Every structure is written in structure tokens, then in C-alpha cells.
């Protein structure tokens, strides 16, 4: 018995075209595996005349209503951004249509209320494609680990950052050169701000946290740091100490609160996330029953994201029953401030500053595990003092750093990186 | 709105007690996440008087019919083995009850027909717990990657083998000592045959292959090799060459056939499975849309397996709709014989045998990449010749080995390991 499912598609960019390609290519396989025959009945585009290889021109329309009113069973929203995407989704849900979306920005902003709406209308809202592309992490949290209290979740959620940091480490090049490489290879946008400043990863962290911990996360609860200021020197210094620098998003449950962080950190080389290279993503989840579990793979791209959209579509087609799991606001979420080792890099006019700097740190109860005075290799560079601290809270550290700033020793920006547990 | 689900539990061993514990502990969480309230209404045990901490004695019975006829919505089969487990499952399906099982041996033997029965009865058969404990790999294949043609699947599917090989490599100890350690830590049974000879991994490979490739796999299609004969010397020699020895199960699609293998292999240290340590499991899946994807975590144990059972139970409760995905016999499956590098270890009375051995290999078109003549370190040990070959099929290699055997050079068992791609 084959069930038919009519899909209205909003948007035909990278992921949309991937979806059309995948439905065409793996059509028979999907039908055989799931008993569902998928048919894309209408596609909303901005420009009818744009070349779209492999897409049936007769399906295209520039009028949203032609998609939303055409009797489809399910709407796939791939236009992105906040508006008009939100209105499209709300109108679809209101009419009792299931919705599948890859819209990370919208979900991070408003996912909670959209899930509530879907639940009230007894339709489903799928968003596997919004986080980590083809990796079925949403499904794992919603279903595979449903019997677990999630204790901790951390991940490499942004492929652009990971590609740049991998190249800086393995190719021993500076940030700017690595960024240009990433742009040339299509792993970074022309304007890479959202990625390299950490906002993309923070949005994904917010979505994962709301699911994993049933917490409603205030958009400002996550302190976000990007990778712009990391120098090749930092990467090599970290490596000499036995670490690799990765941009890691973390959510951790302690008592009834979830603490969040989203920043570059030092990972021991033996850490499970340390080996995640290039543009790949990974999520490490710790549940009280399953222990530590790793999911990794391609976090973006046309076909990986389309694969995630398809998994939601088929799941909804197979299990039409008005089920939606939404956060219950069970725990509060806030920025993380547990104690950690920290890596510090100071710019100084004289490397002898290692003396006063370590003295001020120790006086402020910031234990110094290792320190190095590093002479500049050429006139354009700055002398540096690098410090690896013992366990210390960020608050205590900040007090010490204020003291160092006040002493006038520093001649440039400093770098602070947490060492992950 | 909370839906209630009555569960009849068959068997209360390690996983059964884990399930009772988890349902008790994470009850509120599950209800809030899924809208389902779980209640275990009856438990089949062999011995009523055995101490079972945390299990309500009033629920216990020694009569299967008391469980199967008590009006439960879903039956969880955890008695294991072929009979009476199969009859229990068949009777439950026949009565239109959903079934969740962790019974890997039964599914490897008869999974295809059980899935067909479930489909015909429009009930669901869940078996997430049968492969890799808490790792949601069945769900990923059934659903998360539903839109992908799976091209290749390989994994470390047996925790006992992986623990032993990890200890042999990191502790530089022999197989027997590592096995005793595994037994002391509860990672190996008193009779470890099924695990260390590869049969457990082969059963899991069969289940995964049937799902991933929609192939019905003949039980004899997998050539199985265990890790009993691997010496500490092999592990160190491999490491010196830049490899680690792991027991890996692989299924690979080529044209319309799936080739299978289940044996110890050499993995380059950079391979994604090379870093999977101790008793952990991992599965690497390559789909045409998602690319390469890794899932890793604890592959066995009371709570991880119970977590997998629970995920099936909640999934069925949330999506009661008579859906079951079964293999369609789309492709054939056979033992793997693609070309690979191979590691060979010969026992010889004189290390000078490196000459004739490499000569015979080359004469038989087995290219020698590296060879070493190794003197025994003490009188009880044997001299060895170790060879790393160029790419060669197992068939060509076997012809050469027959020639070497005929030459009378060897004084003991030889070791052959494939180098994974």
C-alpha cells in the first residue's frame, strides 16, 4: 500500500534544489522503505526566469498563495530569514498543514511559540535540517534519547569556523588566509560575520538546548565569542601544550539550570571533538542512561540538508498523528561560569613582563600552571606573554585581568580561551 | 493530554531491570517530552524468588500467558535466544500487539519474516536495542537517512573485541591477559566465544545490512573472523606501520550487490574508527546525500540498552499507525572480495625465510610493500617474517599462501589481516 504525499515547497535555493534532486533520484527507494510516494506539487520562487537545472518549470510560481492554498499535505519552508518565512509557517500551521523547515534563525528566535502553535493545531513541525545538516541530531534528542535525562551537550556546530581552525592548525596559516581559502571552497559566505563571530553556532545551540533540556532559552543567555582574533601563534602554542583550538558550543545541566557557552576553547588532543576536521560538524551528548555519545558528519550543504528535510517529511507522512514535542520551560538557562583552565596571551613591549603578569595573576588567586615569554619574530610583530592557568572561574580571572590592564603592561589586545574539560 | 501505554515485559535480566529503573527515574521527563505515560503491567521471570532490587514483586509472574493476555498495548521481549522468544513475539504480533525486542540472535536469524508479519498485522516491531545498545543507529537508518542510497556501512560492533584490542595496544599485553581483564570488568562473558570469534558482530552486521540496503542477507554470506589469534606483536607491528588493529564489520554496495566482511583489520591512525576505544561501539555510514557520518557510544550495558528499548516504546506510543519498514530483497549480499593491502605474519625457523617468502609472493603477483625479518626475543617464541602487501585480492593472496605453505618454510600458524581503505 503506497500513501501519496503532496508537498508545497517555499523557496528553491541550494537546499530546495537539493530536495528536488533527492526526491527524483531516490524516489523508488523512499517508496519501498516507507510506503510513501512524495510529490512536489508547487514551488515558490522569487524569479521565474532564473536557470534551475532539473526543476520542472511548470511547478514554479511567484505567489505564496499558490503554494499555501493548493491542497498540499505538507509545506516545506526553505526561504530562510524571519519574514515572510514566519508568516508562511504560521499560515500553514493554522490551516492544519504539517511544516518542515530548515530555518535556524527563525527557530532560534521563535521556535518555542511555533512548536506550541503546531501542538495546539495537532500538526507537526519538523526542523531536523536547521541544525547540523544531515546529522540526525534533532531526531536523536527528540526520540532516540527520549528516556534519558540529558546532562551535557557540546558540539562543533559551525563548519566555517571548523574549516578555518583546521587549516590554521594543519597549514600553519593565519586566520585571514584560512578565511579566504574557506570562501574559495564555498565553506564561508562573502560576508562571513554570522559564522566566524559565533552567532550561527549560538542559534543552533539554542535550538538543541531547548530540545535536550526542555528549557526555554533567552536569546541573550548565551555569551558568544568568535574566532576572528585567534592567531596562528595561539594555534601552535596550544598544540605544543597538547591541545587543539576548536569553536565549541556547550550546554550543561547543573541542578535545575543549564549553563551555556559558545566560544573557541582548547581541547586535549584525545578529546572526541578534537579529531573533527575541516567543515564537519559533531555533537557530543551525555545522557544518564546512554553515557557519552557522538554524532558527526557534514553539517551543511545542498544534499545533506535536503536529506534532513526528507527525513522529516517521510517521518510525518508515516506517522500522521498530531504529535509535536515542545519545550516545557522546565529549567532555566544561563551563560556558563564553571571553573576551567584558561589560556591567556598578552601583548607586551618587553617579554620580561612575564614577571609582573604572573605576579598579578597569583595575587588575584589565578594559579599559573605554565607561562612563557615569547620574543617577537620580526619588527611588525609584538612580544608576548602566554599563560596556562590552573582551574579558575571566569569571574576571578576577569578581576585579575582588570588589575593587569590597570598596570599598563599590555600593548595590544589580549586573548582568553577556556580549556574544555 | 497524556496517553497511557501498558507494557508487558518478558524477561527481567540486565536490560529488563534497566528498563524498570529508567521508566521509574525519567518518568516525568518522558511524559513531558512525549505526552505518553508508561506503565509496566506484568513481568515474566523464571524465578519468582530471585532478588530484584527496585522491581515491584506484585508484577512478577512465571506464566507467559499472564503477560501476553493481560491487555497490554505493547510487549517488550527481553528473554533472548531463539525459543521461546520467537513464539512470544509471533503470538504478540498475531494479536495485533506492537513488539519491542533487543533479541539480536533472533533478528539475525529471522528478522525478515518477523518484520513481514508485523507489517501484515499493521503493528510495529522495534529493535533499536538489538544493535549497538544506546546508539540510535537503527532509527538513523530507518528514518534519519531515509532519503539516502546507503553506499557503505562499517562499524566497530562488538565492545568485547574492541576492549581487548584497545588494551592489547595501549597496555602492550597479550590477548589472554586482555581477555581476563575484560572478564573482570564485565565486558566479556565467562564463555566469550560469540564475541571474540566475531559471531556477535556478524549478527549485528546482518541486521544493519538488511535495513540499510534493503537486502535479505543469507546467514552464510558473511565470512567471520575473530581476534583470538592476534598477538601483541601484531598490534605493535601495526602501530609501527601507522595502523591500529580493530575488529570491523563492513557492508558495501557495488552495482546491485552488497559485499560483507566481519574481521580484524588494520586501520590508519587517522581513520574515524581508529579512535574508538575500550568497550565503545561506532558505526560509519556513507549515504549519497549526507556523505560520511559517524555514530558512536556505549554499545551495550543495562541502561544504554534500556534507553534504546524506551526510544522504540515511546516512538510506537506516539505514532500508532501500523508502520513498519522491512527489507524488500532489493539487492543481493555476499562476502567481500575487493582488493586491499594485507598484513601477513609468518612463523619461521629462520628469519632468513624473508627471502623465499617475498620471492614466492612476488612470483604470485602479490606485491610486497614492506617486509621484516624478526628474531624471536626468547626461546619460547618463534622467529617471524612480517609483510605488508600492495593492493591484492584475497583470492590471489590465497594462491600465493598455498605456495608458501607447500614450500615447508612455515613452522606455525600464520596471521592475515586486511588493511581497511
Residue whose cell numbers read 586535549: A268
For residue A303, list chain B residues with Cβ-Cβ distance below 8 A: 288-291
Q: Reduced to 3 states, what is the DSSP secondary structure of residue A46?
A: coil
Residue whose cell numbers read 565553506: A187
Which residues, 6 or more positions from A82, have their beta carbon under 8 angstroms from its beta carbon?
A105, A106, A109, A110
Residue A272 in contact with partner chain B when CB distance is under 8 A: yes
**Do B26 and A288 count as a contact with CB atoms less than 8 A apart?**
yes
Task: Output the domain CATH number for residue A289.
Answer: 3.30.360.10
**Are A208 and A153 a contacting pair, CB within 8 Å?**
yes
**Do A25 and B288 count as a contact with CB atoms less than 8 A apart?**
yes
- Please report the pLDDT score of residue B326 as a whole number: 45
**Are B119 and B144 a contacting pair, CB within 8 Å?**
no
- Please report the pLDDT score of residue B421 as a whole number: 67
Interface A-B, measured as beta-carbon pairs within 8 A, has a size of 202
Of the listed ranges B13-22, B283-292, B316-325, the one predicted with least confidence:
B316-325
Question: CB count, 10 Å around CB of A401?
Answer: 21
- Please write the tens of the pLDDT for every residue from B61-88: 999 999 988 789 999 999 999 999 999 9
| Same-domain check for residues A240 and A367 | no
- Please write the tens of the pLDDT for every residue from A56-89: 999 999 999 999 887 899 999 999 999 999 999 9
Q: How confident is the model at residue A214 (pLDDT cuts 50, 70, 90)?
A: confident
Q: Count how many Cα atoms sit within 13 Å of the Cα of residue B389 in the half-sphere of its side chain.
A: 31
| Same-domain check for residues A18 and A161 | no
Q: Residue B324 falls within a domain, yes or no?
A: no
Q: What is the mean pLDDT of residues B157-169?
A: 97
List the single residue in B289, B294, B311 with the smallest CB-CB distance to A147. B311
Residues A161, B238: Cα–Cα separation, whole Å? 34
With 70 as the cut, is the pLDDT of residue A421 above it? no
Q: Kindly name the residue from A121, A204, A206, A298 that is annotated as catalytic.
A: A204
- Please report the pLDDT score of residue B1 as a whole number: 61
- Please report the pLDDT score of residue B325 as a whole number: 42
Domain end (from A116, A134, A152): A134
What percent of chain A stands above pLDDT 90?
62
What percent of chain B stands above pLDDT 70?
95
With 60 as the cut, is the pLDDT of residue B323 above it? no
Q: What is the mean pLDDT of residues A242-253?
A: 92
- Please write the tens of the pLDDT for every residue from A116-137: 899 899 899 999 999 998 899 9
Residue B19 falls in which region: left (phi positive, over 0), alpha (psi -120 to 50) or beta: alpha
Q: How confident is the model at residue B322 (pLDDT cuts 50, 70, 90)?
A: very low
Beta-sheet pairing, B383-389 with B341-348: antiparallel
**Do A297 and B291 count as a contact with CB atoms less than 8 A apart?**
yes
Query: What residues form DSSP beta bridges with A77?
Result: A10, A101
Nearest to B283 by CA among B165, B130, B152: B152
List the single residue in B136, B147, B214 with the smallest CB-CB distance to A32. B214
List the single residue in A35, A291, A306 with the smallest CB-CB distance to B304. A291
- Please report the pLDDT score of residue B418 as a whole number: 83
Q: Residue A279 falls within a domain, yes or no?
A: yes
Q: How confident is the model at residue A374 (pLDDT cuts 50, 70, 90)?
A: confident
**Are B64 and B87 a contacting pair, CB within 8 Å?**
no
Residues 316-375 of B with CB under 8 A from A: 318-321, 323, 325, 328, 330
With 50 as the cut, is the pLDDT of residue A326 above it? no
Q: Residue B263 falls within a domain, yes or no?
A: yes
Cα of first residue to Cα of last residue in chain B, in angstroms, is 52
| Same-domain check for residues A260 and A179 | yes
| Same-domain check for residues B201 and B128 | no
With 90 as the cut, is the pLDDT of residue B335 above it? no
**Do B328 and A32 count as a contact with CB atoms less than 8 A apart?**
yes
Q: Residue B323 falls within a domain, yes or no?
A: no
- Please write the tens of the pLDDT for every residue from B164-213: 999 999 999 999 999 999 999 989 988 999 999 999 999 999 999 988 98
- Please report the pLDDT score of residue B328 as a whole number: 53
Q: How confident is the model at residue A394 (pLDDT cuts 50, 70, 90)?
A: confident
More reliable by pLDDT, A378 or B141: B141
Cell of A89: 509557517
| Same-domain check for residues A182 and A238 | yes
**Are A295 and A136 a contacting pair, CB within 8 Å?**
yes
Question: CB count, 10 Å around CB of B145?
Answer: 26
Q: Kindly name the residue from B204, B206, B246, B298 that is annotated as catalytic.
A: B204
Q: How many domains does chain A have?
A: 3
With 70 as the cut, is the pLDDT of residue B392 above it? yes
Search chain B and give the residue with CA nearest A137: B144
**Do A139 and B135 count as a contact with CB atoms less than 8 A apart?**
no
Nearest to A295 by CA among B393, B293, B71: B293
Domain end (from A286, A307, A335): A335
Would the CA dihedral through B378, B381, B382, B386 be positive or negative? Answer: negative
| Same-domain check for residues A399 and A261 | no
Residue A156's domain spans which residues? 137-298+328-335
Q: How confident is the model at residue A1 (pLDDT cuts 50, 70, 90)?
A: low
- Please report the pLDDT score of residue A325 as a whole number: 42
List the single residue in A32, A275, A293 with the smallest CB-CB distance to B330. A32
- Please report the pLDDT score of residue A324 as a whole number: 37
With 90 as the cut, is the pLDDT of residue A334 above it? no
With 70 as the cut, is the pLDDT of residue A331 above it? no
Q: What is the mean pLDDT of residues B278-283?
A: 96
Q: Residue A320 falls within a domain, yes or no?
A: no
Q: How confident is the model at residue B222 (pLDDT cuts 50, 70, 90)?
A: confident
Q: Reduced to 3 states, what is the DSSP secondary structure of residue A162?
A: helix
With 80 as the cut, is the pLDDT of residue A220 above it? no
| Same-domain check for residues B283 and B162 | yes
Residues 147-176 of B with CB under 8 A from A: 147-149
Q: Count how many Cα atoms sit within 13 Å of the Cα of residue B170 in the half-sphere of its side chain.
A: 12
More reliable by pLDDT, A54 or A44: A44
- Please report the pLDDT score of residue A205 as a whole number: 94
Q: Residue A306 falls within a domain, yes or no?
A: no
Query: What residues form DSSP beta bridges with B371?
Result: B387
Q: Residue B261 falls within a domain, yes or no?
A: yes
Cell of A16: 530546495
**Do B30 and A314 count as a contact with CB atoms less than 8 A apart?**
no
Task: Look over chain A and give the mean of its residue pLDDT values, rounded to a whole number.
Answer: 89
Residues 24-63 of A with CB under 8 A from B: 25-26, 29-30, 32-35
Q: How far is CA B7 from CA A142, A371, B41, in A?
A: 21, 60, 6
Nearest to B407 by CA among B369, B359, B371, B373: B359
| Same-domain check for residues B257 and B291 | yes
Nearest to B385 by CA among B339, B349, B332: B349
Q: Concatenated DSSP letters for A253-285?
A: EETTEEEEEEEEEEEETTSTTTT--TTEEEEEE
Of the listed ranges A252-261, A374-383, B382-391, the one predicted with least confidence:
A374-383
Q: How far is CA B111 from CA A196, B99, B108, B117, B207, in A?
A: 48, 13, 6, 10, 8
**Do A293 and B292 count as a contact with CB atoms less than 8 A apart?**
no
Task: Output the domain CATH number for residue B402.
Answer: 3.30.70.260
**Are B2 and B31 a contacting pair, CB within 8 Å?**
yes
| Same-domain check for residues A361 and A411 | yes
* Helix residue ranges per DSSP H, B82-216: 85-94, 104-120, 137-139, 159-170, 175-184, 193-196, 199-213
Nearest to B41 by CA among B62, B13, B21, B61: B61
- Please report the pLDDT score of residue A336 as a whole number: 65
Residue whose cell numbers read 578565511: A179
Residues A115, A109: Cα–Cα separation, whole Å? 12
Domain end (from B266, B286, B318): B318
- Please report the pLDDT score of residue A378 as a whole number: 78
- Please report the pLDDT score of residue B407 as a whole number: 92
| Same-domain check for residues A96 and A154 | no
Q: What is the mean pLDDT of residues B50-57?
A: 88
Which residues, 6 or more positions from A302, have their beta carbon under 8 angstroms from its beta carbon?
A14, A15, A17, A18, A21
Task: Output the domain CATH number for residue A59.
Answer: 3.40.50.720
- Please write the tens of the pLDDT for every residue from A283-314: 999 999 999 999 999 988 899 999 999 999 99
List the A36-44 sheet strands across, edge first.
A60-61, A36-44, A3-10, A74-77, A98-101, A125-126
Cell of B134: 544506546
Of the listed ranges A48-52, A97-101, A164-168, B294-298, the one predicted with least confidence:
A48-52
Task: Look over chain B and give the mean of its residue pLDDT values, rounded to a whole number.
Answer: 89
Residue A312 to chain B, least CA–CA distance (Å): 8
**Do A32 and B272 count as a contact with CB atoms less than 8 A apart?**
no
| Same-domain check for residues B127 and B71 | yes
Q: Residue B325 falls within a domain, yes or no?
A: no
A204 is catalytic: yes
| Same-domain check for residues A172 and A198 | yes
- Please report the pLDDT score of residue B249 as a whole number: 95
**Do B147 and A275 count as a contact with CB atoms less than 8 A apart?**
no
Amino acid at each position: 500500500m503506497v500513501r501519496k504525499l503532496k508537498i508545497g515547497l517555499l523557496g528553491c535555493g541550494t537546499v530546495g534544489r537539493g530536495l528536488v534532486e533527492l526526491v527524483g533520484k531516490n524516489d523508488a527507494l523512499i517508496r519501498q522503505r516507507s510506503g510513501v510516494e512524495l510529490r512536489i506539487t508547487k514551488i515558490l520562487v522569487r524569479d521565474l526566469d532564473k536557470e534551475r537545472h532539473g526543476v520542472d518549470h511548470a511547478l514554479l510560481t511567484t505567489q505564496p498563495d499558490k503554494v499555501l492554498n493548493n491542497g498540499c499535505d505538507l509545506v516545506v519552508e526553505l526561504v530562510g530569514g524571519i519574514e515572510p518565512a514566519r508568516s508562511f509557517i504560521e499560515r500553514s500551521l493554522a490551516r492544519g498543514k504539517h511544516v518542515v523547515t530548515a530555518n535556524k534563525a527563525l527557530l532560534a528566535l521563535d521556535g518555542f511559540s511555533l512548536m506550541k502553535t503546531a501542538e495546539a493545531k495537532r500538526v507537526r513541525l519538523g526542523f531536523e535540517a536547521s541544525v547540523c545538516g544531515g546529522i540526525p541530531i534533532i531526531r536523536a534528542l527528540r526520540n532516540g534519547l527520549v528516556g534519558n535525562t540529558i546532562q551535557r551537550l557540546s558540539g562543533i556546530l559551525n563548519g566555517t569556523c571548523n574549516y578555518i581552525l583546521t587549516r590554521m592548525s594543519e597549514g600553519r596559516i593565519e586566520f585571514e588566509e584560512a578565511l579566504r581559502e574557506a570562501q574559495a571552497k564555498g565553506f564561508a559566505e562573502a560576508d562571513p560575520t554570522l559564522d566566524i563571530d559565533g552567532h550561527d553556532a549560538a542559534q543552533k545551540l539554542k535550538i538543541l538546548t531547548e530540545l535536550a533540556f526542555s528549557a526555554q532559552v533567552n536569546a541573550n543567555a548565551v555569551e558568544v565569542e568568535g574566532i576572528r582574533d585567534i592567531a596562528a601563534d595561539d594555534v601552535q602554542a596550544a598544540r605544543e601544550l597538547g591541545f587543539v583550538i576548536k569553536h565549541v558550543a556547550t550546554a550543561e545541566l547543573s541542578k535545575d539550570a543549564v549553563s551555556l557557552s559558545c566560544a573557541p576553547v582548547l581541547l586535549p588532543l584525545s578529546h572526541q571533538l578534537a579529531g573533527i576536521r575541516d567543515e564537519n560538524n559533531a555533537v557530543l551528548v551525555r545522557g544518564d542512561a546512554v553515557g557519552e555519545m557522538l554524532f558527526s558528519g557534514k553539517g551543511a550543504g545542498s544534499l545533506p540538508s535536503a536529506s534532513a528535510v526528507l527525513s522529516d517529511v517521510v517521518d510525518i507522512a508515516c506517522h500522521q498523528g498530531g504529535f509535536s514535542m515542545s519545550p516545557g520551560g522546565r529549567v532555566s538557562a544561563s551563560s556558563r561560569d564553571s571553573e576551567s583552565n584558561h589560556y591567556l596571551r598578552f601583548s607586551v613591549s618587553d617579554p620580561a613582563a612575564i614577571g609582573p603578569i604572573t605576579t598579578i595573576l597569583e595575587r588575584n588567586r589565578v594559579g599559573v600552571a605554565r607561562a612563557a615569554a615569547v620574543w617577537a619574530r620580526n619588527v611588525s610583530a609584538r612580544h608576548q606573554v602566554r599563560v596556562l592557568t590552573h582551574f579558575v572561574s571566569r569571574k576571578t580571572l576577569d578581576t585579575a585581568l582588570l588589575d593587569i590592564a590597570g598596570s599598563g603592561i599590555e600593548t595590544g589586545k589580549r586573548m582568553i580561551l577556556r580549556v574544555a574539560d
